[in-house]
């Protein structure tokens, strides 16, 4: 069964450093998403991406964040200058078509900012 | 602003003891309500989508129902492997985002 994959599984970085989190969505899916979950809290929406552009973003997704689909398979989230409060699990998700609404999530990348 | 409230926060059941989890929501135009299962340290695993009041979906020991204000996830004769956090999420018309609740942590005791 096709799955969303994410790398790395755990990333440790120092405050102020740039990080790139990588995702390979399910093949043939058209809509891509990033969410985050701070330990013990809700899963929170960050951004959605369709047809090579951002279709929706939350207030969390400020100028420090960017997304890119550099080729036909990868989808990345970049945080330019990490803060302590960026420490969280980051989940990538994908959705197949405009008709089906369910989003399929990857296993997550645990980001620890020290 | 879309809001999702789940109750109880945690539930411990004996194996075979059936129960229900609640998800109350407010959204301006419900496109869909979703149930996910999340194991510790893992990503949410899709279970069900419900679109309109009165709709029901079933999968093994789980059945999800929907009204205009809430959804229930009924667990019949649960097994220890059903232990997980169950998340409810909503999507409004015109939105891409899912708005999640805090989840119900379910523990099934053998």
Nearest CA in chain A to B91: A101
Please indicate whether, in this complex, the C-beta atoms of B102 and A41 are within 8 angstroms of each other.
yes
Which residues, 6+ apart, have CB-to-CB distance to A82 below 8 Å?
A13, A14, A15, A16, A17, A18, A19, A111, A113
* Whole-number pLDDT of residue A33: 98
Q: Inform me whether the pLDDT recorded for A98 exceeds 90.
A: no
Look up residue B43 and give its two tokens. Answer: 């990503």
A93, A104 Cβ separation under 8 angstroms: yes
* Whole-number pLDDT of residue A101: 86
User: How sure is the predictor about A11, in pLDDT bands with cuts at 50, 70 and 90?
Assistant: very high
B62, B75 Cβ separation under 8 angstroms: yes
Q: What is the 3-state secondary structure (H, E, C) of B32-54?
A: EEEEEEECCCCCCEEEEEECCCC
Segment A2-7 mean pLDDT: 95
A19, A82 Cβ separation under 8 angstroms: yes
* Whole-number pLDDT of residue A39: 93
Average pLDDT value for chain A: 95
**Is there a cis peptide before residue A8, judged by omega within 30 degrees of 0?**
yes
Pick from B5, B99, B34: which is nearest to A56 by CA?
B99
Q: Kindly report the number of other CB atoms within 10 A of residue B93's CB atom.
A: 10
A4 interfaces chain B, CB cutoff of 8 Å? yes
Return d(Cα A5, Cα A51) in angstroms, integer. 20
Return d(Cα B44, Cα A92) in angstroms, integer. 10
Pick from B29, B22, B11, B108: which is nearest to B64 by CA?
B22
CA distance B5 to chain A (A): 11
Look up residue B46 and give its two tokens. Answer: 């899709």
| Ordered DSSP codes for A1-32 | ----EEE-SEEEE-TT--EEEEEEPPTT--EE
Q: Which residues of A touch B44 (CB under 8 A)?
A: 43, 91, 105
- pLDDT one digit per residue (tens) for chain B, 110 residues: 999 999 999 999 999 999 999 999 999 899 999 999 999 999 999 999 999 999 999 999 999 999 999 999 999 999 999 999 999 999 999 999 999 999 999 999 99
* Whole-number pLDDT of residue A78: 98
* Whole-number pLDDT of residue A44: 98
Q: Which residues of B touch A106 (CB under 8 A)?
A: 43
Segment A71-98 mean pLDDT: 94
Q: Inform me whether the pLDDT recorded for A99 exceeds 80.
A: no
* Whole-number pLDDT of residue B70: 97
Q: Inform me whether the pLDDT recorded for A4 exceeds 90.
A: yes
Segment A14-37 mean pLDDT: 96
Return d(Cα B12, Cα B14) in angstroms, integer. 7
Segment A93-101 mean pLDDT: 87
């Amino acid at each position: 069964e096709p799955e969303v994959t994410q790398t790395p599984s755990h990333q440790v970085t120092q405050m102020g450093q740039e990080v790139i989190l990588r995702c390979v969505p399910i093949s043939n899916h058209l809509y891509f998403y990033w969410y985050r979950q701070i330990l013990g809290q809700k899963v929170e929406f960050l951004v959605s991406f369709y047809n090579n552009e951002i279709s929706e973003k939350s207030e969390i997704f400020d100028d420090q964040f960017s997304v890119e689909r550099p080729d036909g398979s990868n989808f990345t989230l970049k945080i330019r200058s990490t803060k302590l409060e960026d420490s969280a699990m980051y989940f990538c998700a994908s959705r197949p078509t405009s008709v089906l609404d369910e989003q399929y999530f990857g296993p997550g990348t645990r980001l620890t900012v020290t | 602003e879309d809001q999702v409230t789940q109750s109880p926060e945690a539930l411990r059941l004996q194996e075979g003891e059936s129960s229900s989890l609640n998800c109350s929501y407010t959204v301006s135009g419900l496109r869909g309500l979703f149930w996910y299962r999340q194991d510790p340290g893992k990503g949410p695993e899709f279970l069900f989508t419900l679109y309109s009041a009165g709709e029901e979906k079933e999968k093994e020991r789980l059945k999800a129902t929907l009204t205009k204000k809430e959804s229930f996830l009924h667990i019949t004769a649960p097994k220890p492997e059903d232990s997980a956090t169950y998340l409810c999420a909503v999507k409004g018309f015109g939105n891409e985002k899912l708005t999640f609740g805090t989840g119900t942590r379910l523990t099934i005791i053998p």
